Structure formats: C-alpha cells, structure tokens
C-alpha cells in the first residue's frame, strides 16, 4: 500500500473510530495511530479525532448534569446527532482531500 492510500485509510480510521464503540476502544485507536505513525497529516487527523472524543465526553457530562435543570435531554439528543454526523463529514473530507487534516468545529483542542 502506498503512503497516499495509507494516509487516507489511517485518517479515516481515526475519525471513524467513534463508530466502533463509545468506550476506550474509540479513544485507543486515534492514540495508537498518533503514537505509531510518522505522517504529519495522519498525526494531525488522529489528534483532532482524539480532541473530538474528549470534547464529546466533557459535553456529555455537562449535559447529564443539566438534565436536572430540564434542558439536558435536548442537549444529549443534539450531542448524539453531532457525534454521528461530524465524524461522517470528517471521513468524507479526509478521503476526498487526503493532504489536508480535518478540523472539527466548536471543539477545544486539548491534545
């Protein structure tokens, strides 16, 4: 497999890891790609995916706490939709433009 195809595959895999599970597996895949790959675009995609996962957990905790106020249910529903739609958009972008890392909107970049 040439580096161009490998870049597309690993970048898409790091963004699509969220569909495998919502546990440590979905975070473990981008971490493994980040640590084991030397390609700067793949590393940036893995870092962005990891940041997205962390943000989802933070937003999920905040939404769960806001259930007590009454608006948390709507936020949890929106969070579920966002966690499904944005990774699909990311996968499409990295497959169509493999030389550019995808940047998720409205997230904090902690890693």
pLDDT tens per residue, range 38-92:
999 999 999 999 999 999 999 999 988 888 888 778 888 999 999 999 999 999 9
Q: How far apart are the first and last CA of the chain?
A: 29
CA 51 remoteness from chain centre? 7
> In angstroms, what CA-CA distances link 85 with 18, 36, 40, 80?
11, 27, 25, 9
Helix H or strand E encompassing 57 = helix 40-66
CA nearest to 103, candidates 58, 43, 44: 44
Q: Which two tokens stand for residue 49?
A: 């995916």
Average pLDDT along the chain: 91
Per-residue confidence (pLDDT) for residue 31, from 0 to 100: 94
pLDDT at 52: 95
Q: What is this structure's pTM?
A: 0.91
């Amino acid at each position: 497999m040439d580096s161009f195809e490998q870049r597309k595959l690993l970048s898409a895999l790091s963004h699509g890891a969220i569909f495998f599970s919502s546990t440590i597996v979905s975070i473990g895949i981008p971490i493994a790609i980040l640590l084991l790959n030397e390609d700067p675009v793949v590393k940036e995609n893995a870092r962005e995916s990891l940041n997205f996962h962390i943000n989802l957990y933070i937003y999920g905790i905040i939404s769960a706490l806001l259930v007590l106020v009454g608006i948390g249910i709507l936020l949890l529903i929106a969070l579920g939709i966002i966690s499904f739609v944005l990774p699909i958009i990311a996968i499409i972008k990295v497959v169509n433009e493999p030389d550019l890392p995808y940047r998720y909107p409205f997230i904090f970049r902690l890693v």
